[in-house]
Amino acid sequence: DELTEQMMDDLYDGLKEEIVEATQILLDRGWTPYDILTKALVAGMTIVGNDFRDGILFVPEVLLAANAMKGGMHLLKPLLVETGAPTIGKMVIGTVKGDIHDIGKNLVGMMMEGAGFEIVDLGINNAVEGYLEALAAENADILGMSALLTTTMPYMKTVIDTMKEQGIREDYIVLVGGAPLNEEFGKAIGADAYCRDAAVAVETAKTYMA
Ligand code: B1M
């Protein structure tokens, strides 16, 4: 599709207004919010990520791309969270300490809300104390943690170990996600499940709440 190709270029160039406009055009053409997210925005961000890794793009450019993506997501959010369904559970979610990546986490939050979950978003750079306070204060069912760096993902284990020490690990379902994680890592740190993407997070959470 010509427009989605253009969107990938615009995302790469960090052109927020163009991304917002194109997102609206795809909606007007009848695309589902989920297809726009995955086939245009996430696909475009994957290209940005590859060139970032290869030293072709640098932090300022990637920040602009992320900002452009958020513009599109902002438009899609009300559509993704629109739901008449009764609440099926409550999830506290946040990116772990030392990590400021939040696009994936935001996406997971939106899709979970759309599926009927109540979401308490703690934002980025969360220490164990913050997670545990929120879980108790919110009377949550699920803890969701996100990490995008190999240097921050071990912090998830710190959180889970602290839950075990305090005897509250079994009171919550713990779901983890983020690009550098995998199934094996999720098991090794004692999470209930690793979620590859937002759709899997929704399905996994539903299964545990059933
Ligand atoms: Co960062 N960065 N970054 N970055 N960045 C990565 C992660 C990297 C892989 C890029 C690369 O080298 N190819 C690399 C990590 C390498 C590694 O650890 N092995 C990297 C690096 C090195 C860094 C810095 C250290 C760079 C520097 O300063 N030298 C720095 C670290 C800052 C910090 O956190 N302390 C940094 C900074 C940044 C920006 C600020 C510029 C920006 C973030 C802006 C923002 O988030 N507001 C940024 C970005 C945008 C990226 C890439 C390009 C894209 C991430 C993204 O948003 N993807 C990324 C490359 C990549 O991942 N390919 C990269 C789109 C998003 C929808 O996907 O987040 O994977 P993702 O989320 C998915 C799933 O993973 C899953 O569902 C989501 C939706 O499907 N999921 C969950 C995620 N969290 C979940 C939680 C759940 C369930 C599922 O809980 C239930």
The string of DSSP letters for 67-97 reads HHHHHHHHHHHHHHH---SPP-EEEEEEEBT
Q: For the chain, which residues score pLDDT lower than 70?
A: 83-85
- Which residue CA neighbors atom 76 of ligand 1 most closely? 197
ipTM above 0.95, yes or no: yes
Question: What are the angstrom distances between the C-alpha of 162 and each of 31, 151, 167?
Answer: 44, 19, 9
Which pLDDT value is given to residue 11?
Answer: 96
By the 8 A CB rule, do 205 and 175 touch?
Answer: yes
Which pLDDT value is given to residue 206?
Answer: 95
Q: Which residues contact 58 (CB under 8 A, 6 or more apart)?
A: 52
Q: What is the pLDDT of residues 43-73, one digit of tens each?
A: 999 999 999 999 999 999 999 999 999 999 9
Six token digits for residue 197: 């993407």
Which pLDDT value is given to residue 170?
Answer: 98
**Cβ(48) – ligand 1 distance below 6 Å:** yes
By the 8 A CB rule, do 91 and 205 touch?
Answer: yes
**Cβ(150) – ligand 1 distance below 6 Å:** yes
Which pLDDT value is given to residue 84?
Answer: 65
**Sheet order of strands, 193-195 included:** 117-121, 89-95, 142-146, 173-177, 193-195
- Which residue CA neighbors atom 69 of ligand 1 most closely? 104
By C-alpha distance, which of 180, 182, 187 is closest to 148?
180
**Count of CB atoms situated within 10 Å of the CB of 119:** 19
